[in-house]
Every structure is written in structure tokens, then in C-alpha cells.
Amino acid sequence: MAIASLILIISWSQAPNYQVLFANLSESDAGSIVNKLQELKEPYKLTSNTILVHSDRVYDLRLKLAAQGLPQGGGIGFEVFDKTNFQITDFMQKLNYRRALEGELSRTILSLTEIDRARVHLAIPEKSLFIKEQEPPTASILVALKQGRTLSQSQVQGIVHLVSSSVEGLNPKNVTIVDNKGELLTKPVDDFVGLTATQLEYQKKFERDIETRIKDILEPVIGKSKVQARVAADIDFSRTDKTEEKFDPESQVARSEQSTKEKSTTMGPAGVPGVQSNLPGKATAQAQGSQTQAQKQSETINYEISKVTNHTQGQFGTVKKLSAAVLVDGIYTASKADAKDAKGAPADKDVKYTARADEEIKRYEELVKKAIGFTVERGDQVAVINMQFEPEAKEVIPPPQRDYVQDGILVAKYLAPLVVALLFLLFVVRPIIKTLTTPPHIPKTAALPYPKTVAELEREMKKKEELAKAEEWNISLPPSGDLPIKRQMNEWSQWVMSNPASAAQIIKEWIEGEEA
């Protein structure tokens, strides 16, 4: 039993220590890694989706498996085309390309620290000869987030644009992202619903920035954690374009000028009026007629009036109104100069609260207005109020609890070889050395007994006869032997009282023996 216990302790203490080789593996990756470890004849343990190997082989095996492209992570990638197959059909070629693209996108998405697992599904329709009949490609992404992690809207939009830029013809609106809880992460954009997720995020960030400005300007004066500020901003996200033309009638410039002059001369009628003067072959007397002259002049001047054209594009995200509410704590003074706690701060029981003066509050209000860019025309509002803050509850952090069981197992594992060695020295080596160094013991011969006297021999014979008769009569005699005489008499007296029949038989035998 002791040897078996020693063997168990030795085997347990010398058992190899296993560490995680890879965790959170997919089924395909786990199967590929297990097959590779079996080829390398490496001992391993498989628990759920985690593979454990000897602690001294972790880094070496990771390098060897990485050289083999394991684990693949988001699935198969473009390494599917490393081996050329001339018998593959065009359909299988397109299918492998889509699988490879999905795997590469999954690996890229997995590089984000917040994501534990990711799968990408692409729907890429066949190209059509007609543009109107062409169906747009779509993408669906499933992400499993790590414990306690979330994705911001900017990260979601980054994933959307990453996928849409990697697939030809994919519109970002056709990309859908869902987490492992079934919640839709890509918010639809609807101009008629209200602010989009991006606009809401911009508004919240703008309000937080204004609050930080208020704290930064007041905390150095009032004290850290003694100022609380909240800002509500009304932001106009509409964009307007305006084109304006202005004419100045007082400013005229001659653009073109045209001048025309015409002059003509007309002869009046002459001779005898009537038919005779108009007949052919008939000579007529010549007479001098009158002349008429005509003259015409025109001038055209075109003037250009000066014109000013203004094109104004409205700013996106204009602040329409700001409202700020600021709470400031009062003044705390110690009633006794020596009333301090362990850290040198005034003790709670000796602290007196004093409200701040109205003039001081007004100065703080002016500082806040300057810090946020207060504008009366916009209708901005600022309120600074002095109120006593509730003291922060001191958080009692319990001391870290040690795992004594684990510590004991660890200590026992390293002390077990020492204990085994010590037991081996005490119970094996030490007896052997003692046996080898101790001289052999020669037993002394027992002394021969002296011969018995005649009286002793007679007593023995008499005792034997009594025992024989007692066995014959089936009675038990009291012990006698070397007992004192008084003790023997007491024993015999008690025996006679308890066995009267047997005592009478013995006396009868004595009498008959003497008579004979």
C-alpha cells in the first residue's frame, strides 16, 4: 500500500502541465489542428473549442501551425486558389471566389478587438445585359462580440464601408450587420423620421464637449468633483443653398454704340404734259426739271447695368440654441484646526458647510457664458446654482481572496518529490545502511535446567492425575500451580461452593484410595 501511494505521488508530481494552444476555435479549425497534432504525434487535450498542449511546446507548435495556415479564423480565404484544377467548372470557380471573399472579409473584421467571431454572407447576382434588369449585390454580416464589449456607431459604419468597398457594385445601404443577440446594428437612414444615428452621435459629442469646457474652467477654482454640468444643444442639420442677383441702376456702362447716316437726291418731272410727248418717234422739246435731296442719320447706344450674383450654401449642423445647467458645491470648513483624518482631510463630524455668495455665483455664470459662446439672439440659456453635494460613499474594497486550494495543490506538486525522497531515505536507505553497519548478533545458548527433586516430581504426577480425573468427570479445577497457599485455599473454597457435586466425588475418590 505504501509503495502504491509513493508511485501515485511520483506520477502525479511528474505529470506534464498543459496550457492553452488555441481557444474559441471553430469546428473546422479545431478538426484541422487536431489532425495536424496527431500527425506530429503531439499529446493534446480537447475541451469544448479549446486545445491544450504541454506548456513547453506551446510556442513551437503555434509557429508550426501558423506555417500551415492554421487556424484559418474566419474560414477559407484566397488560398483556395493555391491549387489549380483545370477540370473545375465556371460555376464552381465563381462559388469558390465568393467563399474566398467571404472568408477574407471575416478575417479582416475579426481584427477588431471587440469582435470574437464573424461571418459574412454575400449575395452577388449574375450580370445582366440590360442595366434596368441588373440586381444589386447585398451583404449580411453576423458578429459575436466579446464579453462586455460593444461596437460604436462609427465602428459599425467602418465595417459597412469596408465590405461595400471590397465587393464590386455593393452599395453601403445594402449591407446589414447583426450581432449574436439578433439586434440590428446598422440603423436605416430615413430623412422623414428624424435625426440619423450619425447626427445623434454628433449632437451628443457636441454636448459632451461643451460640458467638458465648463468643468475645465470651473474645477480649478471650485475644486475637482465639485462641478456638475449638463448641456442641451438644438442643432439644425438642414442644408440650404441661396443664389442672389443684384442690379445697380446708377452704375451704367456703354456696352456698344452704332451710328448710321443716309443721303439721297430725287429729279422732278419735265416736258409738255399729255399723250403727244409720250409717243415714240415724236420729237419733243426738252425742259429742265426740279431736283429734291433727302438726308437721314441714326445712332444706337447699348448700356450694361452692373449685376452682383451671390451663391450662399448653408452650414451643416448649425447651432440654433444652447441650454446649460451647472451645479456647484459650497465651501466646507473644519470647526477645529486639529480635526483631521488619517489622510489630512477634515473629519466628517467637524466639517461645516457654507453656501457660496450670489456675487460669486454670478461670476461663475459669466465664465460659463464666455466658455460656451453664449448668444442672446439665439435665445441661449445658462443657469448656475449652488447646492450641497451628497458626500461620496467610501467604497470598501475587500482584500483579494487567495485560492488556498490552488496554492496548496501547487505547493504539494513541488514538495511531493522531496517528501518521496525523504520517505525513501528513512524507510529504505536507512534500514539497509543500518543492517550493513551493525555486526551480526550471536544468540547465547540457554543454560540447562537443574534436575527436579522427588517432591516436585510427585506434585507433577499428582497434578496430572487430577487433571485426568477432571477430564474424566467433565469438571474444571481451579488454577493452582505456583500461587501462594492462601490464594490457593481461596480458589478451592470458591470452587467447592460452586461445584459441590464435583467436590464430593473427589473426596469419595480420596477415601476409596486410602482404604485400598
Per-residue model confidence as pLDDT tens digits over 134-184: 889 999 999 988 888 888 888 888 899 999 988 888 898 999 999 888 888
283 within domain boundaries: no
Q: Is residue 222 part of a domain?
A: yes
Does residue 212 or residue 57 have the better pLDDT? 212
Read off the pLDDT of each residue in 92-112 and give the average, rounded to a whole number: 85
Are 211 and 334 in a shared domain?
A: yes
Residue-level pLDDT at 191 = 47
Specify whether 85 is located in the same domain as 195.
Answer: no
| pLDDT tops 90 at residue 441 | no
**Do 124 and 205 reside in the same domain of the chain?**
no
The percent of residues above 90 in pLDDT, for the chain, comes to 15
Alpha-carbon separation of residue 131 from 71, 73, 331 (angstroms):
42, 38, 74
Same domain assignment for residues 42 and 90: no
Average pLDDT over residues 224-228: 90
Q: How many domains does the chain have?
A: 4
Q: End-to-end CA distance of the chain, in Å?
A: 70
Grid coordinates of 250: 446708377
- 504 falls within a domain: yes
| CATH code of the domain in which 223 resides | 3.30.300
Last residue of a domain, one of 157, 186, 215: 186
In a domain, 421, yes or no: no
Q: Is the dihedral of CA 270, 273, 276, 279 positive or negative?
A: positive
Query: Is 467 part of any domain?
Result: yes
- Can you tell me the mean pLDDT for 443-468? 63
Band of residue 341 on the pLDDT scale cut at 50, 70, 90: low
Distant-in-sequence, close-in-space partners of 278: CB < 8 Å, separation ≥ 6: none
- Cα–Cα separations (whole angstroms), residue 340 to 334, 344, 347, 353: 9, 5, 5, 16
Percent of the chain with pLDDT over 70: 69
Residues 218 and 358 in one domain: yes
Average the pLDDT over each of 76-85, 146-155, 194-203, 295-304 and give the range with the smallest value: 76-85
pLDDT for the residue numbered 465 = 67
Report if residue 386 sits inside a domain: yes
The pTM (predicted TM-score) of the whole model is 0.39
Looking at the fold, whether 31 and 171 belong to one and the same domain comes out as no
Same domain? For 201 and 167 the reply is no
Report if residue 288 sits inside a domain.
no
Of residues 515 and 150, more confidence is placed in 150
**Has residue 13 got a pLDDT over 80?**
no
Q: pLDDT for 116-129, tens place per residue? A: 888 899 998 888 88
Q: Are 154 and 171 in contact (CB under 8 A)?
A: no
Mean pLDDT of 458-471: 66
Do 108 and 234 belong together in one domain? no
Whole-number pLDDT of residue 181:
85
> How high is the pLDDT of residue 86?
74
Same domain, 104 and 153: yes
Contacts 24+ apart (CB under 8 A), 407-415: 413/12, 413/13, 414/13
8 Å CB contact between 77 and 90: no
Same domain, 161 and 241: no
The enclosing domain of 83 has a CATH number of: 3.30.300.30
Final residue of a domain: which of 149, 165, 186?
186
Q: Domain range holding 506?
A: 462-515
Buried b (16+ CB within 10 A) or exposed e, 343-368: eeebeeeeeeeeebeeebeeebbebb
Residue 348 has pLDDT above 60, yes or no: no
pLDDT above 50 (res 373) = yes
pLDDT at site 96: 83
3-class DSSP assignment, residue 49: coil
Check residue 192 and give its pLDDT: 45
In a domain, 266, yes or no: no
Q: What pLDDT shows up at residue 386?
A: 93
Single residue among 67, 86, 103 that ends a domain in this structure:
67
CA distance 63 to 417: 34
**Which of 152-156, 326-330, 509-513 has the weakest average pLDDT?**
509-513
Q: Tell whether the model's pLDDT for residue 379 goes beyond 50.
A: yes
Q: Quick one: cell of 330?
A: 459650497
pLDDT digits (tens, 9 = 90+) for 37-50: 888 888 888 877 78
The identity of residue 256, as a single letter, is: S
Mean pLDDT, the chain, whole residue set: 76
DSSP, collapsed to helix, strand or coil, labels residue 261 as strand
Distance CA(473)–CA(366), nearest Å, equals: 132
Whether residue 128 is found in the same domain as residue 164:
yes
Residue 371 has pLDDT above 80, yes or no: yes
The winner for highest mean pLDDT among 166-180, 333-347, 424-438, 489-503 is 166-180
The confidence score (pLDDT) of residue 216 equals 92
Q: Are 136 and 198 contained in the same domain?
A: no
